[in-house]
Amino acid sequence: MDNYRKLAIRYLNMNKRRSAIAIFGVIVTTVILFTFLNVMCGLLENERKREREEEDYEMVFFLQSEEQGEQILSDRRVKSAYIGPYYEWSYNTQNEELVHANTLYVNVTQPYRINAIFNDICQNYGVEGEINEYLANLYFQGTDEEGMVAAALFVLLVAYIFAIFGVGIVRNAIQLCALENIRDYGNLRCIGASKGQLKSIIYFQGAILELIGIGIGVVLGTIVSYIVGAVFHMEIGFHLIGVILILIVFMGDLYFTMGENSKLITGMSPLSAIRGEYRIKKEKIKLREHNLFGKIFGVDGDYAYKSLMRNRKRFFRTVAAMVFGIAMFIGIAGAVHSINEIIKEKLAEYRYYQIYFEHRLGPGKSIEEVQATLPSAKQLERLTQLEEVTEAKRIYSCDIWLADTEDYYQHYTEEFLTTTYGGDAMARIHEAYQSASEIEGKARRLDALAAIECYGYDETDYARYESALVEGTLDISDHGIVIVNQGKMEKAEELTETLGIEYVQVAITDYHVGDTIQIVNMERFGDMVQTEWERLDKEAEEREEQLRKELAGNEQEFNQQVEELEKEIYLEKKIARYNCWQELISQGDYETYTIEGIVNADVNRSGSYFRIILPLEQYFAMTGTDETMNTGMQFHFDKIPMDKNLSVICNEILWGDMDINSEIEYNGLDYSEYVWMIDELMNMKKVIFFVLLIVIFVVLMASLNFINATASNLHLRRREFAQLRVIGTSKERLVKMVLLEGVITTVIANILGILLGTGLCIYVFYFVNLINKLEFHFPWLASLGCIIGSFLLLCGAIYVPMRKLSQSMVEDLTTGGD
Amino acid sequence: MDIVTMEHVTKVYGENDTRVWGLHDVSLTIQQGEIVSVVGASGSGKSTLLHVMGGVDAPTSGKIVVDGKDITKLNDEQMAVFRRRKIGFVFQAYHLIPVLSVEENITMPILLDHRKPDKEYVEHIMEMLGLQDRRKHLPNQLSGGQQQRTAIARALANRPSLILADEPTGALDSKNGSEVIALLQNSVKQLNQTLVLITHNIDLAREADRIIKIADGEIVEA
Ligand SMILES: Nc1ncnc2c1ncn2[C@@H]1O[C@H](COP(=O)(O)OP(=O)(O)O)[C@@H](O)[C@H]1O
Ligand SMILES: [Mg+2]
């Protein structure tokens, strides 16, 4: 040893584990911070590069003469330049307008001084110009520099917060070490060490821990940055500025906190070292009355309470920190729980076949037309091959038309018509239909009143309804049907209390087993409508052709006329369908079906409407279709699909070959939004995971700090403990007495923390409820976790150093001077 | 030559009701090369005398000149420099630095003074005190006597003007105690240094050139 400062290394070596933990803390903070800074710098760099590819100039000057250009070019601050015309986007003409023909485009040598250089050149050479604002902003310059400066300040703030953590843990470790060896510092003073020399030993210890931690942290952070870059397909690289920033904030903070530490030991006079007085601050010890804890725990409780009250500030600080931590934890747990519940609820709504692509048949739609809009066989194949897809089935579905709409309408329940969004709409449509005097008015609205969804299922799918059967049987006769009569439906708007969509569970109709409904001959109805519609389509084509001739050259007029024509034909079609329907009824060409089973939920498919479900054979018979006429595909997942390909395929199916610029035309394809729901869920999980990481980080750092602080506090009291031992307190009893202090603190902190946390939960819950109705759950598990965690932390933080202390206590007493 | 001159030195502890006289108007001189024993009952002010003389405690009033310097006028920093250059302390409880080896403990005052230890001299001291084989040992690997010998070596290492020893044998048995004192006195004589020694042992005290007797903070016999 050739320098007294090496004592620092000896002290760090003496408690390797503590030093390692401190270094670990610095590493963790550095890794996170450096990765953050490095990624930020990488993003900034990439953005600069991207911007320079598009517009590689920092400023332009509108030259008045050639000499002016040459003068500017010879300025040593100009790195590169070229001459060309300068255009600017004009809002008035919606076009690029020439601003100045002879413009000098310039890049300077110091982009971080764009503003100053620009102003200087303007003044020196008497020229006007403009700064490339966006590029300048990327160098924290330009007229709008405040925004970027604010962002930079935010980054600095984040860095500083991390520094507080990283340095805090080092400070505590060194403080503890200094307190444990405080007598050494007094002895050093005796043999002639000055206060400055003692300080330098402390600073040296801090610097060693910090630098090792930062060194390793930067290496790991670089690796993590590369991983992050690889995951998000970005080039991040290595940015020295991050290291410099970390060194500045960490070392800067270290300088101040180590100053505090130094005060601790320099306050130790050589005399007190000789006399064996280790207490640094003389405290006033007040006589206190007997207290509650004394009554409960006897003399031990009395001692514990008095010890706590002796340093009230520290006690309240500890309690406040714990209360805050517990409340935050419970609050977050409550929020996570609410989110989880919502997700569960939402996902359950998608029923057995979570994903489907379907285009229901109906009068006027040919099967070819329908199947043409379905996803291609290839796309369906790819979906089927996803690992999580355990079942894929064809859908058979069709709109069937009632013969007596009025009879059906009368069966709607009051509840459905008045409390749900759909029922409310239905009531309005019904009224408009009734009061319509012309055929147009009726024809427009007929499909809403007469069409009912009908689904055919194979044996296994059909049998699944057994669980939802509330009346009758699934085992139906030739002219029997099963209806889905209940649904979780959107609440009517005027009844909604939250900002989001609310649902009510209602019975849609008051049908019972034995009731009948009449359904028109669907096969004939379909044929009739199709003939009529084909005729109308042909007519439309002819008229469009004629219009084209008449209005040749006047495109605007032509487009307008065609639009009119389309509207007319659309109405004509509806009228034709109305007429066909009337004809079938007047001919008595409809059949009566008896309701033989009622289920209260559609277990196979999402969506809640009045539906008819049938075994396949009967479905074919009723709708006049056959096996080849499937109207879509449906897929079952037995667990939540995590495969990214799922949403890729689904997106491709729905808008794959769609041109963004073309108007989106609805082709009748129905699909579930399960995939997007899952996407959102994944995003939410990412956010929760991130929040969790932060919480873990904060809890970890706070705990380490707390453990260290407790240990130093106990060290300060070691003479007192030694005295207690001397007057006959057993080791165990002493540990118990001090543990009781921890117990009292934890109990108080938990009571307050859980109360506050529950309040926070209710507060969060209130807001969640504005968007989505939920039942409130008290976060039992989180509370239990908090209680256990805080007890372990507090008592552990006391127990471990106490056990070590009580071993060296007698020595503490006997070495005290004369 | 006078190495220490104390004139009307007073040390008062506490205030008002709790006022205690540590030293009461003490004046004395100590010559270069002298070995002086300080004796007196417990609480008589022996340690206080040593502390103010060695610059670890400041007197309430009076003048203390050590090696030609009035130490009552020094500030904290100067006092530290004074201690490491002019004073060698030996305490009852050794007060070694536990994380440093014997050799490192001994050279510490030199390192603190930003100097390179004089290898030969340090070697000589260690030899004199029988510590050559223990140089790499930590204090907790040594016996009490060895620890105290290390402390003595440390006190000698910087060739101080004055060595102050406060009951250096108090924590040792009598055989070890006599041996340590003999070594201390021999070394001081050999190196022609000055020693002020507090001891309860009258036999050991008699070996000194001079005995100072203290009672109630006053010198009663010099
Ligand atoms: N820090 C102190 N505060 C109050 N009184 C002190 C202090 N140090 C010493 N004293 C008192 O000064 C007197 C002399 O003490 P000291 O010099 O230690 O005696 P000793 O001769 O036993 O070494 C004693 O009465 C002691 O109580
Ligand atoms: Mg004494």
- Indicate the domain borders of chain B: 33-57+76-221
Closest partner residue to A10 (CB to CB) among B89, B100, B113 is: B100
Residue among A187, A192, A276 minimizing CB distance to B97: A187
Ligand 1 pocket, B41 CB below 6 A? no
Query: CA-to-CA distance for B79 and B82, rounded, in angstroms?
Result: 5
Measure the CA–CA gap between A133 and A142, rounded to whole angstroms. Answer: 5
In CATH terms, the superfamily for domain B33-57+76-221 is P-loop containing nucleotide triphosphate hydrolases (3.40.50.300)
Which tokens is A290 given? 């007997």
Inter-CA distances, B8 with A39, B23, B64, B218, Å: 72, 9, 9, 10
Q: Give pLDDT < 70 ranges for chain A.
A: 1, 90-95, 144-145, 276-295, 298, 498-500, 608, 656-666, 723, 726-728, 806-818
Using a 6 Å cutoff on CB, does residue B44 contact ligand 1?
Answer: yes
pLDDT at position A812 is 55
**What is the SS3 string spanning A267-330?**
CCCHHHHHHCCCCCCCCCCCCCCCCHHHHHHHHHHHHHHHHHHHCHHHHHHHHHHHHHHHHHHH
Task: Tell me which residue in A184, A191, A276 faces B83 most closely, judged by beta carbons.
Answer: A191
Which residues contact residue A765 at a Cβ distance below 8 angstroms, ignoring those fewer than 6 apart?
A334, A338, A774, A776
Instruction: Decide whether any atom of ligand 1 lies within 6 Å of the B68 Cβ.
Output: no
Q: Which residues of B touch A10 (CB under 8 A)?
A: 99-100
Give me the pLDDT at residue A283, please: 45
CA-to-CA separations, A750 to A311, A758, A785, A798, B133, in angstroms, rounded: 20, 12, 11, 18, 59
Q: Are A630 and A394 in contact (CB under 8 A)?
A: yes
Ligand nearest to the CA of B42: 1
If you measure from the C-alpha of residue B20 to the centroid of ligand 1, how many angstroms do you get, rounded to a whole number?
A: 8
Q: Is the CB of B43 under 6 A from ligand 1?
A: yes
Burial (CB count <10 Å: 0-12, 13-18, 19+), residue A797: buried
DSSP state, residue A666: -
Out of A3, A192, A816, closest to residue B80 by CB? A192
**Number of CB atoms found within 10 A of residue A378's CB:** 8
Q: The tokens of A335 are what?
A: 């929020």
CA nearest neighbour of B220 among B47, B46, B17: B46
Identity of the amino acid at A737: M
- Report chain B's C-alpha Rg in angstroms: 17
C-alpha distance from A191 to closest chain B C-alpha (Å): 5
Taken in order A210, A212, A218, A221, the sign of the CA dihedral is negative
Q: If phi over 0 gives left and psi between -120 and 50 gives alpha, with beta otherwise, what is residue A404?
A: beta
Chain B residue at shortest CA distance from A267:
B76
Specify the DSSP class assigned to residue A302: H
Sign of the CA dihedral with B118 first, then B120, B122, and B125 last = negative
Residues 6+ apart with CB under 8 A from B137: B101, B102
Cβ atoms within 10 Å of B48's Cβ, excluding its own: 23
The answer to whether the CB of B47 is under 6 A from ligand 1 is yes
The amino acid present at A88, given as its one-letter code, is: E
Q: Which one of B39, B44, B92 would you pick to mutate in the ligand 1 pocket, going by the greatest count of ligand atoms within 8 A of its CB?
A: B44
Ligand 1 site, residue B46, Cβ cutoff 6 A = yes
Cα–Cα distances in Å, from A687 out to A31, A281, A579, A766, B154? 20, 47, 57, 21, 62
Write down the pTM of the prediction.
0.60
Q: For chain B, give percent helix, strand, coil, nearest 5.
A: 40, 30, 30
B88 min Cα distance to partner chain A (Å): 7
CB B9 within 8 A of CB B63: yes
In the reported structure, the alpha carbon of residue B115 is separated from the centroid of ligand 1 by a whole-number distance in angstroms of 36
Write b or e for each residue in B6-16: b if 16 or more Cβ atoms lie within 10 A of its Cβ, otherwise e: beebbbeeeee
Class of domain A57-131: alpha beta
Nearest by CB to B97, from A184, A274, A818: name it.
Answer: A184
How many angstroms separate the CA atoms of B218 and B10, rounded?
A: 9
- Residue A558's nearest CA partner among A570, A567, A569, A545 is A545
pLDDT, tens digit, 9 for 90 and up, residues A219-247: 999 999 999 888 878 888 899 989 999 99
Mutate to test the pocket of ligand 1, among B47, B56, B219, B220 (most ligand atoms within 8 A of CB): B47
Contacts of A193 in chain B (CB under 8 A): 80, 84, 112
Residues B76, A195: C-beta atoms closer than 8 Å: yes
- What are the chain B neighbours of A278 within 8 Å (beta carbons)? none
Residue A282 is predicted with a pLDDT of 46
Collect all residues of chain A within an 8 Å Cβ-Cβ radius of residue B81: 192, 194
The pLDDT value given to residue A816: 40
Residue B210: count other Cβ atoms within 10 Å of its Cβ.
15
Beta strands B210-215 and B35-40 are parallel
Query: How far apart are alpha carbons A741 and A747 in whole angstroms?
Result: 10
| β-bridge mates for residue A469, sequence order | A599
Q: How far apart are CA A131 and CA A138, in angstroms?
A: 12
Mutate to test the pocket of ligand 1, among B12, B15, B20 (most ligand atoms within 8 A of CB): B20
Closest listed residue to residue B93, CA positions, set B185, B166, B155, B182: B166
CB contact under 8 A, A273 and B95: yes
Question: Which tokens in the block code for residue A276?
Answer: 């064996």
Comparing A145-159, A657-671, B54-68, B129-143, which segment has the lowest mean pLDDT? A657-671
Is the CB of residue A271 less than 8 Å away from at least one CB of chain B?
yes
Residues of B in contact with A187 (CB under 8 A): 95-97
Question: Does B104 contact A183 at a Cβ distance shorter than 8 Å?
Answer: no
Q: Work out the average pLDDT over B201-218.
A: 88
Report CA(B103)–ligand 2 centroid distance (Å). 28
* Mode of pairing for the β-strands spanning A503-507 and A632-637: unpaired
Q: CB-based burial of residue A619 (10 Å sphere; 0-12 exposed, 13-18 middle, 19+ buried)?
A: buried
> Rounded to an integer, what distance in angstroms lies between the CA atom of residue A225 and that of residue A637?
36
Q: How far is CA A448 from each of CA A190, A415, A444, rounded to the nearest angstrom?
A: 100, 19, 9
Q: Is B216 in the pocket of ligand 1 (CB under 6 A)?
A: no
Ligand 1, from A274, A277, A818: best to mutate by most atoms within 8 Å of Cβ?
A818
Strands B162-166 and A469-472, by their bridges, are unpaired
Q: Report how far ligand 2's centroid is from the alpha carbon of B41 (Å).
A: 9
CB burial of A507-528 (b: ≥16 within 10 Å; e: otherwise) equals bbbebebebebbbbbbebbbeb
Query: What is the structure's pLDDT at A287?
Result: 47
Q: Residue with the nearest Cα to atom 13 of ligand 1? A: B22
Write out the two tokens for A319.
Answer: 């309690």
Eight-state DSSP code of residue A633: E
Q: Give the nearest partner residue to B47 out of A181, A191, A818, using CB atoms.
A: A818
Which residue has the least CA distance to atom 24 on ligand 1? B43
Answer whether B11 contacts ligand 1 (Cβ < 6 A): no
User: In this structure, how many other beta carbons lie within 10 angstroms of the beta carbon of residue A49?
Assistant: 11
Give the number of the ligand closest to the Cα of residue A269. Answer: 1
**C-beta separation of A763 from A323 below 8 A:** no
Which residue type, as a one-letter code, is found at position A268?
A: M
Which residue among A192, A196, A269 sits closest to B109, beta carbon to beta carbon? Answer: A192
The reply to whether B154 touches chain A by the CB within 8 Å rule is: yes
- Burial of B150 (C-beta count, 10 Å sphere; 0-12/13-18/19+): buried
Kindly tell me the number of DSSP H helices and DSSP E strands found in chain A.
28, 16
User: Is B111's CB within 8 Å of A817's CB?
Assistant: no
Q: Check: CB of residue A178 under 8 Å from CB of residue A199.
A: no
- Contacting B residues, span 68-107, partner chain A, CB-CB under 8 Å: 76-77, 80-85, 87, 89, 91-93, 95-100, 104, 107
CA nearest to A813, candidates A712, A720, A722: A722
| CB B50 less than 6 A from any atom of ligand 1 | no
Both tokens of residue A114?
């764009």
d(CA A699, CA A316): 19
Q: List, in sequence order, every residue forming a beta bridge with A484; answer none if it has no partner.
A: A599, A611
- Tell me the three state secondary structure of residue A587: coil
Instruction: Compute the distance from residue B76 Cα to the ligand 2 centre, in Å.
Output: 24
- The residue assigned the tokens 């984040």 is A158
Alpha carbon B151 to its chain centroid, in Å, reads 10
Amino acid at A10: R
Q: Map tokens 């598009």 to a residue.
A: A54
Contacts of A162 (CB under 8 A, 6+ apart): A29, A32, A33, A249
The closest of A446, A451, A419 to A434, measured between CA atoms, is: A446
What are the pLDDT digits (tens) for A175-209? Answer: 888 877 888 888 888 888 888 999 999 999 999 99
Q: Residue A479 and residue A457: Cα distance in Å, rounded? A: 17
Residue of B nearest to A15 (CA): B99
Nearest of A784, A789, A791, A781 to residue A336 by alpha carbon = A781
How many residues in total does chain B contain?
222
Residue A86 is classified by DSSP as E
A312, two tokens: 């009230």
- Nearest to residue A618, comparing CAs of A459, A447, A401, A391? A459
Check CB contact under 8 Å for B111 and A11: no
Q: In what order do the strands lie in the sheet with A78-90?
A: A78-90, A95-108, A59-62, A128-131
